A and B are shown apart, each in its own frame.
Chain A
Amino acid sequence: MTMEIRRYILGRLFQIMLIFFVILTVLFLLFRLAPGDPVSRMVDPNLTPEDAQRLIEQLGLDLPMWQQYLIYLENFLKGRFGISFHYGQPVSEIILNRLPNTILLFTSSILLAAFVGVFLGKIVSWKKGERIDTWVTIGALVCHTLFLPWLALIIIWVFAYWIGWFPLTGMISAEIWTDPSAGLLKKGLDIAHHMALPLITLFLIHFGSYLLVMRSSMLDTLREDYILTARAKGLDEATIRNRHAAPNAALPVITSVGLSLAFSINGGALTETVFTWPGLGRELVFAVSNNDYPLAQASFLLIAAVVLTANLVVDLLYAYLDPRIRY
């Protein structure tokens, strides 16, 4: 690693930490200023005003703002993310429980969409101008603009209800996981079975943009000088396209993945909610509607951290893979 790259990374890391700190503070202010604390949601005549007051004190919501902020910072630095108001469990436990589910679904969908998008984009760029090009392009566009929750519901309706090949909801089947004789393979297949529909939904929404990026990138690349050289050398078209053009053309797709990460995360949260996939996105939506500040804060911070780091990684990866760019 050269000096420049090292400096670049350090610079970016510093930036990330700064952004993080800003987000941390903003989140704190947001939730403290928000109307509606978790206690106020409890509609139970048995809950007397004294009970409510006691609960508020126990949750620490009655301290002056600046004191709460300092406690908040101190806890965060020590790695203590608080106790969820809603579940009464440490927030880190809840997040650790949900995070793997999100990572599983999310990464699989991005990888699948990227690979298929690149592959189809490459093929379609060969056949530019022909009917298949138009149809695939239009198809990709249409898929990209479908409204995700709506698409998800229709997919559930068609594949899980009418055709009935897939489960309706969730990540696992209770019957299989409470069966003492079920082994790892059976459980793994069960998860895959449940993941199929959310995966397809996310895939449909995302593959279009990767396809289009790959397509235009291929067309650009095929005009480059070194391709002309390869042709002059007498190499056949297939080899040129697959071995020389495609790997370089795929690079913009990588940045595209990074740039559209925010968009993908939105989609992930929506998919998890509709499919009742027990992931972090869904938990965040719940936490916000329940005024569960500690959980909402920590979930959002984690997502922000992931997005920021992913962007850094994507930039570095691009720099590493593209011989033309050196920082």
Chain B
Amino acid sequence: MKTGNEQRDAFAAPAGRRDWLAGGWAIFWENPIGKIGLILMACFALMAAASFVPPLLDPMYHPMHGVDPEISHATGPSAAHWLGTDFIGRDILSQLLAGARIAFMVGLSAAFMSIFFGTLIGMISGYAGRFADTVLMRLADMVMVMPTLLVVLILSSLFGQLRIWTIVLLIALFRWPGVSRVIRSQTLTLKHRPFIEAARVAGASHLRIIFRHIFPNVLPLALLYMTFRVTSAIIIEAALAFLGFGDPGTVSWGMMLQWVWKTGHMFQAPYWLLPPGICISLLTLSFYMLGRAMEEVLDPRLRKEGESE
């Protein structure tokens, strides 16, 4: 189990940033997990990019209101519809592609926002210390223990119904504590480094120190945690949509699963049931793998583990 001290050593100021990047990439690519993760993610990114194509080909391929003039019920895969159609004749493949786009958007935005909050709070907490530190960390404790899904569920009743960006914001608001703790301990160790002392003596304001000096050094750690946040954001959005609390105007994988469920095709349309679930799992898996591989790059200790024995 890593403690703050060990992490500090791990992230000791590297010899030249360019060398570090090149070296890091080499390590990353060696690791099979990282490779698989990256490839998977690239596939999904391609899917997301491709989601703009079907409606341009023919209006009937629009995921939300594109209906096939001949088909008006759920059918299996065919030449015109590679994954079949849903209960009113909409193309499942274009829904799947649109879902990839939404998943990336939700995952990345929510992760980015939560990392933003978390890093900011972590830095302030570590740097300011004492009262601000206690208050912020207690707040972090409080928010961290809450089951995010249930909290967002309850909040959804406040809004009557949620738009996709509200969901993203809510997820971000409840997932920052994890990263803030780590950033805080990192900040704590950095605070007492000579180069910070030098800056302070030179008359730099606190804000300047935080953003100019501390921030770039905590950034790799923040980015690492971002990958883990992406997975939880995607899953929470999918679970919300599945339960019926998502944004009914967006086609996400969770929403697709909800449609299969509620229109009575759960057990008779595997071509509709399986793809969204597989996609959610694979995308989360890919980000998770990416995160693990990045961990190895950033933390030499883990690397050593791979070489010994």
Q: In the bound complex, do residue A262 and residue B160 qualify as a contact, i.e. CB atoms below 8 Å apart?
A: no
Do A153 and B285 contact each other (CB < 8 Å), given the known contacts A217-B1, A262-B145?
no
Q: In the bound complex, do residue B309 and residue A273 qualify as a contact, i.e. CB atoms below 8 Å apart?
A: no
Do A153 and B273 contact each other (CB < 8 Å), given the known contacts A262-B148, A263-B147, A285-B153?
yes
CB distance from A112 to the nearest CB of B (A): 20
Chain A residues, CB < 8 A from B284: 145, 147
The residues in A between 135 and 183 inclusive whose CB is less than 8 angstroms from any CB of B are 141-142, 144-151, 153-154, 157, 161
Chain A residues, CB < 8 A from B242: 149, 270
CB distance from B119 to the nearest CB of A (A): 20
Which segment, of A52-60, A62-70, A99-107, A303-311, faces chain B?
A303-311
Do A265 and B305 contact each other (CB < 8 Å), given the known contacts A30-B155, A300-B154?
no
Q: Is B156 an interface residue (CB 8 A)?
A: yes
**Per-position 1/0 for B82-114, Cβ under 8 A of A:** 000000000000000000000000000000000
Chain B residues, CB < 8 A from A220: 1
The residues in A between 109 and 145 inclusive whose CB is less than 8 angstroms from any CB of B are 128-129, 141-142, 144-145
For the complex, give the distance between the alpha carbons of A311 and B147 in Å.
13
Cβ 8 A contact of A142, one of B144, B285, B305: B285
Q: Which residue of B lies closest to A255 (CB)?
A: B1
Q: In the bound complex, do residue B261 and residue A284 qualify as a contact, i.e. CB atoms below 8 Å apart?
A: no
Do A19 and B142 contact each other (CB < 8 Å), given the known contacts A149-B257, A285-B153?
yes
Chain A residues, CB < 8 A from B273: 150, 153-154
- The main secondary structure of chain B at its interface with chain A is helix
Q: Is A77 an interface residue (CB 8 A)?
A: no
Q: In the bound complex, do residue B239 and residue A270 qualify as a contact, i.e. CB atoms below 8 Å apart?
A: yes
Do A265 and B281 contact each other (CB < 8 Å), given the known contacts A141-B289, A149-B257, A153-B273?
no
Question: How many A residues touch B, CB cutoff 8 Å?
Answer: 51
Chain B residues, CB < 8 A from A161: 267
For the complex, give the distance between the alpha carbons of A69 and B55 in Å.
51
- The main secondary structure of chain A at its interface with chain B is helix
Cβ 8 A contact of A252, one of B1, B267, B276, B309: B1
Do A31 and B157 contact each other (CB < 8 Å), given the known contacts A147-B280, A269-B149?
yes
**Per-position 1/0 for A3-19, Cβ under 8 A of B:** 00000000000010001
Q: Is B277 an interface residue (CB 8 A)?
A: yes
**Per-position 1/0 for A240-268, Cβ under 8 A of B:** 00000000000010000000011101100
The residues in B between 272 and 294 inclusive whose CB is less than 8 angstroms from any CB of A are 273, 276-277, 280-282, 284-285, 288-289
Q: In the bound complex, do residue B158 and residue A30 qualify as a contact, i.e. CB atoms below 8 Å apart?
A: yes
The residues in A between 264 and 312 inclusive whose CB is less than 8 angstroms from any CB of B are 265-266, 269-270, 273, 281, 284-285, 288-289, 291, 296, 300, 303-304, 307-308, 311
Q: In the bound complex, do residue B266 and residue A153 qualify as a contact, i.e. CB atoms below 8 Å apart?
A: yes
For the complex, give the distance between the alpha carbons of A228 and B266 in Å.
56
Q: Is B235 an interface residue (CB 8 A)?
A: yes
CB distance from B249 to the nearest CB of A (A): 18
Q: Is B24 an interface residue (CB 8 A)?
A: no
Q: Is A33 an interface residue (CB 8 A)?
A: yes
Q: In the bound complex, do residue A219 and residue B305 qualify as a contact, i.e. CB atoms below 8 Å apart?
A: yes
Chain A residues, CB < 8 A from B160: 34-36
Chain A residues, CB < 8 A from B147: 262-263, 265-266, 269, 303, 307
Chain B residues, CB < 8 A from A269: 147, 149-150
Q: Is B243 an interface residue (CB 8 A)?
A: yes
Q: Is B200 an interface residue (CB 8 A)?
A: no
Chain A residues, CB < 8 A from B66: none
Q: In the bound complex, do residue B157 and residue A291 qualify as a contact, i.e. CB atoms below 8 Å apart?
A: yes
CB distance from A267 to the nearest CB of B (A): 9
Cβ 8 A contact of A288, one of B154, B236, B276, B289: B154
CB distance from A92 to the nearest CB of B (A): 19
Q: In the bound complex, do residue B149 and residue A266 qualify as a contact, i.e. CB atoms below 8 Å apart?
A: yes
Chain A residues, CB < 8 A from B280: 147, 150
Q: In the bound complex, do residue A266 and residue B148 qualify as a contact, i.e. CB atoms below 8 Å apart?
A: yes
Q: Is B76 an interface residue (CB 8 A)?
A: no
Q: Which residue of B lies closest to A291 (CB)?
A: B157
For the complex, give the distance between the alpha carbons of A30 and B160 in Å.
11
For the complex, give the distance between the alpha carbons of A36 and B157 in Å.
8
Chain B residues, CB < 8 A from A265: 147, 150
Q: Is A83 an interface residue (CB 8 A)?
A: no
Q: Is B75 an interface residue (CB 8 A)?
A: no
Cβ 8 A contact of B156, one of A154, A288, A307: A288
Q: In the bound complex, do residue A150 and residue B277 qualify as a contact, i.e. CB atoms below 8 Å apart?
A: yes
Chain A residues, CB < 8 A from B145: 261-262, 304, 307-308, 311
Q: Is A227 an interface residue (CB 8 A)?
A: no
CB distance from B144 to the nearest CB of A (A): 7
For the complex, give the distance between the alpha carbons of A307 and B150 in Å.
12
For the complex, give the distance between the alpha carbons of A30 and B148 in Å.
16
Q: Is A22 an interface residue (CB 8 A)?
A: yes
For the complex, give the distance between the alpha carbons of A285 and B149 in Å.
10
B contacts, CB < 8 Å to A: 1, 138, 141-142, 144-150, 153-160, 231, 235-236, 238-239, 242-245, 257, 261, 266-267, 273, 276-277, 280-282, 284-285, 288-289, 305, 309
Given contacts A128-B309, A129-B309, 18 further A-B contacts (CB under 8 A): A30-B155, A34-B160, A141-B288, A142-B281, A145-B282, A145-B285, A148-B239, A150-B281, A262-B144, A262-B146, A266-B147, A266-B148, A281-B150, A291-B157, A296-B154, A296-B157, A300-B150, A303-B147
The 17 listed contacts between A and B (C-beta, < 8 Å) are A30-B154, A30-B158, A35-B160, A36-B160, A141-B289, A145-B231, A145-B288, A147-B235, A154-B277, A161-B267, A262-B147, A266-B147, A266-B239, A270-B149, A285-B243, A289-B244, A296-B154
